[in-house]
């Protein structure tokens, strides 16, 4: 049995028309599948159906799974017979709280995962440093409180959203629960991108010896919040296997999960951990 997975990253531009953004996503995934019949998984960016801006969050929020964006992804997954990691959308719950939420859809159209962003993005970088950036999702959004593991074929996959990848503890928990791949839809800001985008993904990959996948929106330098782009696949050796540029780009890549076993066998760090020392020091291991 093949231990490979063919996935697509859809680095798409995001405009102010929610219906247009969703239609673009549906058409792009359909195109990708038609051109690559072997495609098994499509991954969309964070906030793919509406602008990533606090003033817009409430305007394009919807219910999960009955909202129009969710229904479009469900129908598309069933029509094409593929998994879809639906980037993220703004979810409105029954108490009118808003969440930054990633939905995951199986080839039969069923919702198999809903990840509410655990770590809300909060940054206040001074203008004289890196051009400056101020943003606080907590002004409008509520943080999630659960890990999200999904089964993609034979493999466990951990889901995070953008800022979640800064937190090594989350990645470690996913690794300890058997994940061989982490996926982070990410609208990473341009002021941090050159320093930390690749660094964080390679760090999570080498610490946990697994694949790390990110999918970003295409860069729009005229928007209020400028995303970095550079959607990326990092392998368990912490090598960048594929990287997008700044603009609209559709990437198809096959990853081989045998590499996870290979790295963990050749560099057996988890068998070498000194749990006795860590526990005496009070570490939660």
Query: Which residues are marked as active site?
Result: 46, 117, 162
**Which among 20, 142, 9 has a CA at the least distance from the CA of 69?**
20
**Which among 174, 132, 135 has a CA at the least distance from the CA of 47?**
135
**Residue 96 neighbours by CB distance under 10 Å:** 8
Dihedral over Cα of 38, 104, 235, 278: its sign: negative
Instruction: Tell me the CA distances in angstroms from 16 to 51, 122, 222, one per residue in order.
Output: 6, 23, 13
Query: CA-to-CA distance for 17 and 28, rounded, in angstroms?
Result: 16
Does residue 99 sit in helix, strand or coil?
Answer: strand
Q: Which helix (H) or strand (E) holds 84?
A: strand 83-85
């Amino acid at each position: 049995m093949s231990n490979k997975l063919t996935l697509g990253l859809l680095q798409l531009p995001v405009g102010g028309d929610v219906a247009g953004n969703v239609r673009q996503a549906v058409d792009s995934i359909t195109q990708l599948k038609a051109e690559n019949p072997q495609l098994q998984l499509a991954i969309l960016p964070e906030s793919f159906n509406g602008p990533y801006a606090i003033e817009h969050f409430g305007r394009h929020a919807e219910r999960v799974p009955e909202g129009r964006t969710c229904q479009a992804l469900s129908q598309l997954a069933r029509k094409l017979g593929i998994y879809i990691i639906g980037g993220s959308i703004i979810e409105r719950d029954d108490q009118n709280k808003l969440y930054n939420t990633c939905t995951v859809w199986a080839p039969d159209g069923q919702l198999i995962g809903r990840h509410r962003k655990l770590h809300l993005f909060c940054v206040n970088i001074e203008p004289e440093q890196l051009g400056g950036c101020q943003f606080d999702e907590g002004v409008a959004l509520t943080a999630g409180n659960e890990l999200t593991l999904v089964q993609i074929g034979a493999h466990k996959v951990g889901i995070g959203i953008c800022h979640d990848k800064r937190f090594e503890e989350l990645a470690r928990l996913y690794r300890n629960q058997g994940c061989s791949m982490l996926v982070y839809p990410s609208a990473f800001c341009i002021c941090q991108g050159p320093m930390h985008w690749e660094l964080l993904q390679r760090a999570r990959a080498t610490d946990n010896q697994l694949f790390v996948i990110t999918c970003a929106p295409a860069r729009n330098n005229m928007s209020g919040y400028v995303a970095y782009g550079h959607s990326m696949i990092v392998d368990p050796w912490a090598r960048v296997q594929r990287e997008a540029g700044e603009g609209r780009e559709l990437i198809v890549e096959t990853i081989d999960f045998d590499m996870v076993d290979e790295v963990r066998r050749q560099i057996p760090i988890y068998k070498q951990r000194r749990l006795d020392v860590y526990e005496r020091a009070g570490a939660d291991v």
